[in-house]
């Protein structure tokens, strides 16, 4: 079972499985966190954010998140 997104996740770093930082959690809804891209995110990562039109965040459903830690991007 995947961990559930909560308001405590806002500000936490979002990383790939390889440990590369690609953004931070900007907002959460039940079962979904919304990621804002890191300023130095690569083109393929930025393309995900542009697919949503005017939005600057991309949804991350709980089922694609494998781990949450206590670390924030602070």
Q: How far apart are CA 24 and CA 70, in angstroms?
A: 13
Q: Tell me, what's the pLDDT at 47?
A: 67
**What are the residue ranges spanned by the domains of the chain?**
7-64
- The tokens for 62 are 């709980």
Q: Tell me, what's the pLDDT at 50?
A: 60
Which residues, in sequence order, are bridge partners of residue 13? 24
Which residues, in sequence order, are bridge partners of residue 14? 23
Q: State which residues of the chain have pLDDT below 50.
A: 73-74
Contacts of 64 (CB under 8 A, 6+ apart): 2
Cβ atoms 11, 73 nearer than 8 A = yes
């Amino acid at each position: 079972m995947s961990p559930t997104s909560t308001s405590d996740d806002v500000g936490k770093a979002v990383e790939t499985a390889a440990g590369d930082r690609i953004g931070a959690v900007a907002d959460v809804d039940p079962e979904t966190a919304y990621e804002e891209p890191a300023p130095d995110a690569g083109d393929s990562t930025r393309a995900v954010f542009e697919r949503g039109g005017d939005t600057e965040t991309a949804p991350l459903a709980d089922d694609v998140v494998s781990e949450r830690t206590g670390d924030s991007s602070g």
